[in-house]
Amino acid sequence: MASKGATLDMSRFFGTRKEKIGFCQDLLADDIHTLFEITRAFFNLPHEEKVKVEHAPEANPNRGCSYVGQENVANISGHEKGVGPGTTRDIKETLDMGCPDDSLVDNLWLLEEGLPGFRSFMESFYSKAFQTELNILSALAITLGISEEHLRLLYCRAENEFRLLHYPAIPASELSDGFATRIAEHTDFDTSTMLFQDSVGGLQVEDQTQPGVFHDVESSACTDIILNIGDSLQRLTNDTFKAACHRVTYPPTVKANGDEIIPERYSIAYFAKPNRNAPLLPLTEFITDETLCKYDSITAWE
């Protein structure tokens, strides 16, 4: 994610290298529109239906539906800035899924009659998003002059996470105390996040040249794919790419501390993660006599 936010016109970018990376056009605009429709349908279900796939009280495994207030991102991301446990609260609800064939963690699904077609669509979208992820990795490898085959092998098991998010409508004044937010500032653990968002706004990214300064990241349409660099890519490139710190707060059109109601907001994140056993030691191409290795080797799961 660029310091002031950027969207990627996937068809235009990959169209220039189609013959080299074999761009797969599985992920279409219709898929994304349907994704938002079915996401709204899930979160519009009665509470007693959603809790049938309730997230466990503990952090792992990260599967199922979390109610508003259950997850607090600042618990893991804010220690260095003094905003750890008990100091902030996130006003959102989520549904987390993973690979349909994950050998370690099962997904939690409603019965078919609870939301017909939900499971089959989500599994299909997951597969298409994974193919898009591999194409992005190929483009990245080509651009950086590193082994495309090696980079794709680090991700071949599709051990990713897929998250639906709903931010309920709230009075703007509810965020005025500085302790409540739609989602606290954080970086993602993954290599990159493919983010889809509606037009409500509120996503902000921290300027990496001016810590503490955040810029709005808006989408012209929900079919825009915002690419957000995560911690794993920062490690693999030995800090050549820095993970983007981001948050969700007041939309640009809503006055902070005012009496307005912030509209509900929907977004969907596909977290592209290395295989759990993949080593995150920086790639040799990013280690030189002048740029020493900054990280020990740990696995993506660690």
203-220: per-residue pLDDT in tens? Answer: 999 999 999 899 999 988
Query: pLDDT digit string (tens) for 227-244?
Result: 999 999 999 999 999 999
Give pLDDT, residue 80.
Answer: 58
* Rounded distance between C-alpha atoms, residue 302 and residue 280, angstroms: 10
Average pLDDT of the segment spanning 102-112: 93
182: pLDDT strictly greater than 60? yes
Beta bridge partners of 203: 248
Residue 107 scores a pLDDT above 80: yes
Read off φ and ψ for residue 72, nearest 5 degrees: -130, 100
User: How confident is the model over 16-35, as a mean pLDDT?
Assistant: 62
Least confident span in 79-83, 138-142, 288-292: 79-83
Average pLDDT over residues 170-198: 89
Q: Looking at residue 130, what is its pLDDT?
A: 96
Compute the distance between CA of residue 190 and CA of residue 101 in angstroms, rounded to an integer: 19
- Given a cut of 80, whether residue 23 has pLDDT beyond it is no
Distance separating alpha carbons of residues 186 and 228, to the nearest angstrom: 12
Residue predicted with more confidence, 118 or 258: 118
Q: Count CA atoms closer than 13 A to 124's CA, side-chain side.
A: 13
**Residue 253 banded pLDDT, cuts 50, 70, 90:** confident
Average pLDDT over residues 49-66: 90
What pLDDT does 61 receive?
Answer: 86
- DSSP 8-class letter at 279: B
pLDDT at 21: 27
161: left (phi over 0), alpha (psi -120 to 50) or beta: beta
- Which region among 30-39, 176-185, 219-228 has the lowest average model confidence (pLDDT)? 176-185
Given a cut of 50, whether residue 53 has pLDDT beyond it is: yes
Mean pLDDT, all residues of the chain = 86
Give the model's pLDDT for residue 76: 67
Could you tell me the pTM of the whole model? Answer: 0.87
Q: Is the pLDDT of residue 140 over 70?
A: yes
Q: Quick one: which of 229, 222, 214 has its CA closest to 271?
A: 229
- Model pLDDT, residue 18: 31
Which residues on neighbouring strands pair with residue 192, listed in sequence order?
229, 272
Tokens of 30: 């219709």
Specify the pLDDT at position 81. Answer: 59
Report pLDDT digits (tens) over 259-296. 899 999 999 999 999 999 999 999 999 999 999 999 99
Pairing state of beta strands 214-216 and 183-186? unpaired
pLDDT of residue 82: 57
Predicted confidence at residue 17, as pLDDT, reads 31
